């Protein structure tokens, strides 16, 4: 885009970094799809049905820390590759179950593989999970005008709160941070957590307030999490570099 060879970039919001190169920015956030994580298994209908010692695959420290906290008797193993590769590894018997994003499965018309959608109470989603964002050059008024009708105001407000929280925590894609905002009658309800990868500690918090204060709510919640133990957890994940 900076070279002028592309006008836009379309992103899954859960994978978008907190900072952009100079001259580029996120100008549109489309209506959010299913934000939940999904339990996928060929043998078991739910996480609760998994016997002790079952092997569960995930590529996410966020999913890992929450699963380890609720089911420490499971063997959680790293799972890499695209969705098709991950499903193949499950089908080949390398895992008893895997955890994926529900939205990704649905977009690939693989919703039938979902055995159990995991509520935010069971597995708090990643920042921006289920939403699609569009990036372009900030000085490209014509393209920005074309994209404007695709912006979904409610989703944008929710994601803005989640990303403000994540930015204050200096989070990225591969960190044990979860966050989910809901908007009802103009009031924003933001939940978040930071967890030790082994599930030994989960620091949770929430904020409620007017949608107009989305970013302030996110920053305030992040400060609370840092004060309640998240700073030490993240310092270990970041090899000693704690958020300021």
CA distances from 151 to 126, 131, 133, 196, 212 (A): 20, 11, 9, 35, 17
Instruction: Output the six-digit token pair for 215.
Output: 């970013």
CA distance 130 to 173: 14
CA distance 34 to 222: 24
Of 212, 205, 152, 200, nearest to 180 by C-alpha is 205
Catalytic residue chosen out of the listed positions 7, 15, 48, 198:
15
User: Within 10 Å of residue 164's Cβ, how many Cβ atoms?
Assistant: 24
CB 162 within 8 A of CB 26: no
Catalytic site residue 15? yes
Alpha helix locations (H) across 53-197? Answer: 61-70, 83-91, 102-107, 141-147, 153-168
CA distance 225 to 108: 35
Supply the residues annotated as catalytic: 15
């Amino acid at each position: 885009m900076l070279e002028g060879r592309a006008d836009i970039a379309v992103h899954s919001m859960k994978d978008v970094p907190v900072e952009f190169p100079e001259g580029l920015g996120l100008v549109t956030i489309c209506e959010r799809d299913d934000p939940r994580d999904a339990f996928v298994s060929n043998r078991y209908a739910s996480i609760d049905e998994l016997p002790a010692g079952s092997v569960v695959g995930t590529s996410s420290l966020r999913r890992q820390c929450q699963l380890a906290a609720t089911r420490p008797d499971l063997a959680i193993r790293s799972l890499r590759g695209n969705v098709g590769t991950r499903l193949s590894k499950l089908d080949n018997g390398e895992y008893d179950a895997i955890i994926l994003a529900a939205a990704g499965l649905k977009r690939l018309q693989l919703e039938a593989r979902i055995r159990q959608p995991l509520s935010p109470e069971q597995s708090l989603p990643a920042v921006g999970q289920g939403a699609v964002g569009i990036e372009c050059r900030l000085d490209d008024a014509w393209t920005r005008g074309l994209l404007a009708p695709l912006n979904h105001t409610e989703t944008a407000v929710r994601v803005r709160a989640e990303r403000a929280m994540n930015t204050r925590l200096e989070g990225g894609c591969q960190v044990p941070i979860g966050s989910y905002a809901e908007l009802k009658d103009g009031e924003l309800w933001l939940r978040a957590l930071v967890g030790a990868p082994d599930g030994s500690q989960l620091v949770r918090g929430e904020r409620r307030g007017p949608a107009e204060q989305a970013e302030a709510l996110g920053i305030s919640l992040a400060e609370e999490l840092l004060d309640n133990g998240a700073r030490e957890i993240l310092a270990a994940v970041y090899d000693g570099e704690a958020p300021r």
